Structure 1
Amino acid sequence: MTISYSNLLFPLLIALAAFASFQNKPDEKVTIESPTKPNIILIFADDMGYGDLGVYGATEWKTPNLDQLAADGVRFTQFYVPHAVCSASRAALLTGTYANRLEIFGALDHTAKHGLNPTETTIAEMLKGNGYATGMVGKWHLGHLAPFLPTEQGFDSYYGLPYSNDMWPHHPEAKDYYPPLPLYRNTAVIDTLDDQSMLTTNYTEEAIKFIEKSKEEPFFLYLAHSMPHVPLFVSDKFKGKSEQGLYGDVMMEIDWSVGQVRKKLEELGLAENTIIIFTSDNGPWLSYGGHAGLTAGLREGKGTSWEGGIREPGIFVWPNHFPAGKVENQAAMTIDILPTLAEITGAKLPELLIDGSSILPILEGKEMEPRPYFAYYNRNELQAVIYGKWKLVFPHSYRSIPEGTVMPNDGIPVKYHMLNLEKAELFDLAADPAESTDVSKSNPEILAKLNQFANEARVDLGDALTESEGTGMRKAGRVE
């Protein structure tokens, strides 16, 4: 129902609504129609573990701002990325589409001649077409060549790195392979970095400048932190602040960044009409030991389709629209963010097929029928399917830390070894989030259902593990 407020009653109604929000139970929703389209801030960390926030289990460093963000909105316990690697995960996030459909695999480096195809529609392009100012700050990683930069993909402005912050001459395992690390403003390289200690702070300052500049119109800000991806750097204001060491310091600075963004929204009177989404691209890079994050007991990490690689914190806040303090156990994935924002803002969905679906009912405190989600890795390997609390993992090879390895704390990684999953295994994630017990024999109907989902996906998107050719694939953009 649409409510029209008179000038006389508007302040009173807003005050009553705020009081009602405070009184509301966590699973209730307060609906107040926004006077304008909501601003949207999407904050994307890099290589952050499921257990890296206090509210998700971290104890050796503090994340008060992110914990408060979770208290103010909906916190997912089963929120996924479809690809446990940088470029693919970002392509899926920004297009609402599995990256293998888009021919984006792995992590693009400075030699890549391809990127996200300009024919694809990003969240920025979708919202820009609906009257939004759009800005990006941080790590892009969807093509560093001119046709693929953020300003060619719907963003009015860009400040950040074109790929991962370890793609530089100081890489511990690839010295002299990478050129100097370029820092971009829009389409121009404005600096090359030999020291990243101010990177999180600079990203934060640029994000705040964009908010101030765009305060008179609806805006979309994509703040993609380069950390806690290695190499780890932190400003002097957070150096030595955590009990854990450098990784904890970095997490505390990212937490500070979130607090600074929220503080600016409050100062400008924008907080009530701004959606904030916080998540990460994949799980922790475990071979870096003390320079990697926490899985909170989940199996494996980055570069695998086990829960530690693809399950991430997922926090959604929109005051008076999404219930505060709601812990949500329904499954969702980053591919759902684009269609959800389309439904909220009334923006037109992309013309090309996308794979995500709106989860607005879940964010409003309702139940939705579960749908299958797929986890892909390497070059189009369908490694797992998730359906509600159930997960079926298919035979494949994956990397793991050898048992008994002494883990480093100096930024130099240990070596993985490869393990083989010889047969498909089914897990009940509600009872066994660590994926320790195969329950396929006692759940034949569930096993058959998830196999059916996988077979349908193979027809559409292919699967290198079963040598299936997909009919729904599209091409990446290429520069010859």
Structure 2
Amino acid sequence: MAKATILFLYCFLSLTTFAQTKPNIVFILADDMGYGDLGCYGQKQIETPHIDQLAAGGIRFTQFYTGTSVCAPSRSALLTGQHTGHTPVRGNYEIQPEGQLPLPDSAYTMAEMLKHAGYVTGGFGKWGLGYPGSEGTPNQQGFDRFFGYNCQRQSHNYFPDHLWNNDTRIDYDNTPINQQYYAPDLIQKEALAFMDEHKAQPFFLYLSYTLPHAALQLPKTDSLLEYYKRKFNEQPQAIPTLWDGKGYQPQAYPHAAYAAMVTRLDHYVGQVVEKLKMLGIEKSTLIIFTSDNGPHREGGNDPAFFNSSSGFRGIKRDLYEGGIRTPMIAYWPAVIAKPKVSGFTGASWDFMPTFAAIAGAPAPPRTDGVSLLPTLSSKGKQKQHRFLYWEFHEDGGRQAVRMGKWKGVRLNVMKEAGNPLELYNLDSDPGETKNVAVENAAIVQSIQKIMQNEHIEIARFPFLKN
């Protein structure tokens, strides 16, 4: 079905239902935040009171997963409601001088769905799904307003020389030795203004924060950095006196800087909630908080110091649990009457059908997700996944499947046809320490069949070795 036809049907059907009762949706996506980086998920050293408060008043999910273990394909899976065997962007593919391989015009995103269901849509933060002028820019993929980084590679510098306001480049007088304008503050200001402007109509606010992704950068006057330096009694590491602007800016206090970035993100979340309260729309707003993949070990960061993976195996770029299991919190005062912890096994492609159900829109086409509305509302029977599937297109290629208590991982699939499958029992071995494939041949066979069936080869992201 052509994209234009899909949009017409969604627009027509959505306008006839659920007209005046649509809740606002605020989707907060952290960047490279580990499962264990929040106090409500067991973090002992970093303070996250505002996010913890969301969990205390909402639903904290313990078995929720990202789209995959790096930025662009994870975000593609989120926005299209399709896992990485189906979604159009499956890897970090750079376009020079700025941007990434774009979402094609045929892609159908949650922003397009919600826009045609009567929502005003805004994206603020990091994009990474299409270079300027391409069909993959936010304004071409359903967002009425965008402010932030077009290119995920350029977002590695928190003091950029430019950001994008829709399709207009905004230049800033930032240099390696003259860092005046901190991008997260600029982006947050625009996001809060968007809420002010659209408080009288249903809005979808996609806050794709860059924190706490490397580089480990903060404003020079940041009090949080000083606080954590004292808290950790951290001694400075030797770094170059001058940074040439290439790669990640070195950080003399990496532990304090990472902690400060996480807490700074928490403060931004607190500002969003406070704004909703001030506008009188907190109760009628669904807030989702999650991360795009596991914790990073870049720019001097040390996830082991913070136990960022919470005892799970792996970090960013792994398809073991530490690379893809994510914090996920849902806060919706008008609907979630009783706080709880949910063990529902889900993934980021579930948000597309969930938001369709909330907005009164038809079920989205070509989704791998299920609606979480029964879990959020405690009404009706929650549909379960038979399995979850992931691909990773770097380091030789990887596949993974979660099927009930079983987790299958296959490495080097782009290099070695028929590479053996690792199998783990997550009920008895959540750390994925014991490969039990030999003892469970039938389970291995079932997972191998899922891997074979769920991958659809596309020319722009070739994967399986013939």
Shorter-chain-normalised TM-score: which range?
0.7 to 0.9
Residue 382 to residue 245, structure 1, CA distance change in 2 (3 Å): closer
The 5-angstrom pairing of residues 34-433 of structure 1 reads: 36-111=21-96, 114-147=101-134, 148-164=136-152, 181-192=161-172, 193-194=174-175, 195=179, 198-235=182-219, 236-242=222-228, 243=231, 244-290=255-301, 292=303, 294-322=308-336, 324-351=338-365, 353-365=366-378, 367-378=382-393, 381=397, 383-396=399-412, 423-433=420-430
Residue 239 of structure 1: how far off its partner (Å)? 2.6
Alpha-carbon distance in structure 2 between the residues aligned to 1:348 and 1:219: 18
Residue 46 of structure 1: how far off its partner (Å)? 0.7
| 4+ runs deviating over 4 angstroms | 165-168, 379-382, 459-466
Alpha-carbon distance in structure 2 between the residues aligned to 1:341 and 1:213: 22
Which sections of structure 2, spanning at least 5 residues, go unmatched?
Answer: 1-17, 232-254
> Per-residue displacement from partner, 1:305-325 (whole Å, max 9, x unpaired)?
111111110111111423543
- Superposition RMSD on alpha carbons, in Å? 3.0
Residue 377 of structure 1: how far off its partner (Å)? 0.5
Which sections of structure 1, spanning at least 5 residues, go unmatched?
Answer: 1-32, 172-178, 399-417, 469-480
Hey, what does 1:448 align to over in structure 2? 445
Residue 71 of structure 1: how far off its partner (Å)? 1.1
Residue 396 of structure 1: how far off its partner (Å)? 2.7
Residue 306 to residue 461, structure 1, CA distance change in 2 (3 Å): farther
Q: Which moved more, 1:423-432 or 1:225-234?
A: 423-432
Alpha-carbon distance in structure 1 between the residues aligned to 2:76 and 2:126: 12
Alpha-carbon distance in structure 1 between the residues aligned to 2:427 and 2:376: 20
Residue 250 to residue 120, structure 1, CA distance change in 2 (3 Å): same
Partner of 1:275, secondary structure, is strand
Contact 2:408 2:444 in 1 (8 A): yes
Alpha-carbon distance in structure 1 between the residues aligned to 2:455 and 2:204: 34
Q: Partner letter of residue 197 of structure 2? A: K
Residue 304 of structure 1: how far off its partner (Å)? 1.5
- Give the TM-score of the pair, scaled to structure 2: 0.79
Residue 218 to residue 79, structure 1, CA distance change in 2 (3 Å): same
Residue 155 of structure 1: how far off its partner (Å)? 0.9
Residue 209 of structure 1: how far off its partner (Å)? 0.6
Q: Which moved more, 1:111-120 or 1:293-302?
A: 111-120
Residue 368 of structure 1: how far off its partner (Å)? 3.7
Partner of 1:447, secondary structure, is helix
Among the aligned pairs, what percent are the same residue?
A: 37
Residue 451 to residue 363, structure 1, CA distance change in 2 (3 Å): farther
Contact 2:398 2:412 in 1 (8 A): no
Residue 99 to residue 221, structure 1, CA distance change in 2 (3 Å): same
Alpha-carbon distance in structure 2 between the residues aligned to 1:187 and 1:72: 38
Contact 1:246 1:291 in 2 (8 A): no
Contact 2:84 2:389 in 1 (8 A): no
